Structure formats: structure tokens, C-alpha cells
């Protein structure tokens, strides 16, 4: 029994251990990064990925998978760089419409029992097409208030760490600790119990997809504030990176088992790996390979611990 508990604890600590495993070589090879400005540079793009990861986590909570979050984040950035600058009210209405459409897709997936992979794959082309219509070529500009918010420097601790921690705690309280969060997670963990207690699975999935869209909107606006311009293909990699971060953080595709804190740690780990390799002038292809290698190692350890802990 004690060995089983120890393995469970180690498995729960894998996201943190993987983060440490990435941090140690970075600080050994480049000690100057262990400073306020060094960590700030390494984690400069962490917040948008953290938000996109939480968007993906909301969908995985319902036993679904979102293949459109990357194009959606890109579309939000394009809306922010064009409509929010020149016609703010239209821009806000467009973002609200995107959130409502996401929620409607969630309701449709549950009501008609359509595989989410199929629906979100088709939706990814819709988001990308709209982004191209808004911004055919890279350009636009970030609204001053977004750029100012993302450029704010917090005292003592680098801003990306402060924002990521605040986001993680808020999402954890909402999804893991509140009664509403328990009901929403029940749509993936125990749908039969949801029906037995009279809770609507359609409404639950619509809410989760709407929450995912809200995180996606925040991710796109934060990314726009950091890059100060937009592109229809700006965040396409976020689709796979967000899935990898959720899984790296202990999430599973079956049963709605997710960890908000673990997913945030996973997103930070992947950001650190890519940023450090970029500082070393390593090709982007190798950066993706490094992120994949981290995911494979952690998943292998999880499977190994699970098998050893299984009763014989």
C-alpha cells in the first residue's frame, strides 16, 4: 500500500520534476538566465500558451479534443490588431460572437453525438479563413492598453511567473474546487451520474466550450500584446502544444481527469525548452523535437509507474 502511495505521489509530481529537469541544464549552461530579466526573457511567451493550454484543458475535461484552438487564438489576435483598434465596439462584438459560437459547437457535439475531433478540425479552417479575411498579410497593431498591460513589469518576481501563478490559482479554484467546476467535470468523469441527478450534459459541454473560448480570447489578446502585431498563422502551433501541455501536466483523454496546476507547469516547461533553444540559435525544428522528447519521457515514466502500481 505504501509503495502504491509513493508511486502515486511521484506520478503527481512528474510535471514539477519535468520543469526542474529543464531548468537545471539551462541554469548550468547559462547562469545569467537565473535573474529577474533572464527568467522574464525565457518565459516571455509563457502566458499566452498557459491560457491556450487551459482552453484545451476545458475541452479535455469533457472527454473531447479541440483541434482548432491554435487558429482560434490567431483569429483573436487578428481581431485585436484590426477591429479593436479601429472599431472597438465591433471588435468586442466579434469576440463575444466567437465565444458564443464555441459554446454552440459544444452543445452541438453533445446533442448530436458528433466526434469533437471532426467538428473542431472543420472549425479550425473556419477560424483560419476568417483570420485571413481580416488580415491577409502579417500586420496590424496592438491596442495601446493591451501592449501596456503585457509590458507591465512586476516588482521582485518576473511578470510571466506572477501572471501564470495567478491564472493557475484562479482556474484551479474555478474548475477543481467550486461546486460548478465539479458539475462541469462530471460531464467527462461520470456522465451517467450527471443524468441521474438531472443535470444537462448539453449545457455542461456548452459551458466548458464557452470557458475554453474565453481562455482562447485571453490567449490571443496576450499574444498580440507581446508581439504588437498579428498574423493569421500566428498561433497555429498552440493546438499541439496545448494538448502536449495538458498531457504533460497529468491530464488524460478518458474520464475527464485533468490537473490545472500540472497543465500550467507543462506549458511553462514547453515554453522554457523552446526559449532556451532559441537563445542558443537552435533551429525551430529542433525546438519542436525537444518539446516532443520531453513529452515522451514524462509519459513513459507515467506509464511505468502506473504499471508497477497496478495490482497483480
- CATH assignment of the domain containing 146: 1.10.3470
Q: Which of 180, 67, 163 is nearest to 119 (CA)?
A: 67
Q: Can you tell me the distance from the alpha carbon of 253 to that of 211, in angstroms, rounded to the nearest whole number? A: 18
Find the DSSP H helices in 1-115. 2-29, 36-42, 46-61, 69-86, 88-112
Mean pLDDT of 288-301: 71
Q: 61-70, 107-116, 191-200, 243-252: which range is least confident on average?
A: 191-200
- Spatial distance between the Cα atoms of 15 and 155, rounded to a whole number of angstroms: 27
Three cell numbers written together for 128: 483560419
288 vs 120, which has greater pLDDT? 120
pLDDT single digits (tens) 1-34? 455 545 556 566 777 877 887 888 888 877 877 8
Structure confidence at residue 5 (pLDDT)? 47
DSSP 33: G
Kindly report, residue by residue over 34-86, the tens digit of the pLDDT.
Answer: 888 888 888 888 999 999 999 999 999 988 999 999 999 999 999 999 999 98
- Which of 98-107, 158-167, 269-278 shows the lowest mean pLDDT across its residues? 269-278
The yes-or-no verdict on residue 275 having pLDDT over 90 is: no
pLDDT at 38: 83
Q: Tell me, what's the pLDDT at 282? A: 66
Residue for grid cell 525548452: 273
% the chain with pLDDT above 90: 46
What are the cell numbers at 187? 460531464
Residue 133 pLDDT grade (very low, low, confident, very high; cuts 50, 70, 90): very high
**Percent of the chain at pLDDT exceeding 70:** 86
How many structural domains does the chain have? 1
Domain limits at 236? 2-309
C-alpha cell recorded at residue 123: 472549425
Q: How far is CA 98 from the centre of its chain?
A: 18
Amino acid at each position: 500500500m505504501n509503495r502504491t502511495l509513493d508511486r502515486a505521489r511521484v506520478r503527481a509530481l512528474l510535471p514539477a520534476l519535468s520543469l526542474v529537469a529543464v531548468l537545471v541544464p539551462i541554469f548550468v549552461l547559462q547562469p545569467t538566465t537565473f535573474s529577474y530579466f533572464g527568467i522574464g526573457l525565457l518565459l516571455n511567451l509563457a502566458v499566452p500558451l498557459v491560457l491556450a493550454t487551459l482552453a484545451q484543458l476545458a475541452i479535455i475535461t469533457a472527454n473531447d479534443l479541440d483541434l482548432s484552438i491554435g487558429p482560434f487564438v490567431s483569429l483573436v489576435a487578428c481581431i485585436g490588431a484590426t477591429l479593436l483598434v479601429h472599431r472597438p465596439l465591433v471588435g468586442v462584438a466579434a469576440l463575444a460572437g466567437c465565444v458564443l459560437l464555441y459554446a454552440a459547437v459544444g452543445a452541438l457535439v453533445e446533442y448530436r453525438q458528433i466526434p469533437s475531433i471532426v467538428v473542431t478540425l472543420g472549425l479550425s479552417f473556419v477560424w483560419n479563413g476568417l483570420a485571413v479575411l481580416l488580415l491577409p498579410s502579417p500586420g496590424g497593431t496592438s491596442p495601446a492598453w493591451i501592449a501596456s498591460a503585457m509590458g507591465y513589469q512586476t516588482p521582485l518576481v518576473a511578470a510571466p511567473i506572477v501572471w501564470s501563478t495567478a491564472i493557475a490559482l484562479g482556474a484551479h479554484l474555478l474548475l477543481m474546487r467550486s461546486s460548478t467546476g465539479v458539475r462541469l467535470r462530471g460531464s467527462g468523469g461520470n456522465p451517467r451520474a450527471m443524468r441521474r441527478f438531472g443535470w444537462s450534459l448539453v449545457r455542461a459541454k456548452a459551458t466548458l466550450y464557452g470557458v475554453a473560448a474565453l481562455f482562447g480570447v485571453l490567449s490571443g489578446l496576450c499574444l498580440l500584446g507581446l508581439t504588437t502585431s498579428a498574423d493569421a498563422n500566428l498561433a497555429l502551433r498552440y493546438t499541439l502544444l496545448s494538448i502536449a501541455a495538458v498531457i504533460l501536466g497529468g491530464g488524460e483523454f478518458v474520464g475527464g481527469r485533468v490537473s490545472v496546476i500540472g497543465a500550467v507547469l507543462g506549458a511553462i516547461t514547453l515554453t522554457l525548452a523552446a526559449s532556451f533553444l532559441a537563445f542558443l540559435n537552435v533551429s525551430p525544428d529542433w525546438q519542436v523535437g525537444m518539446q516532443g522528447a520531453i513529452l515522451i519521457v514524462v509519459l513513459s515514466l507515467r506509464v511505468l509507474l502506473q504499471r508497477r502500481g497496478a495490482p497483480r
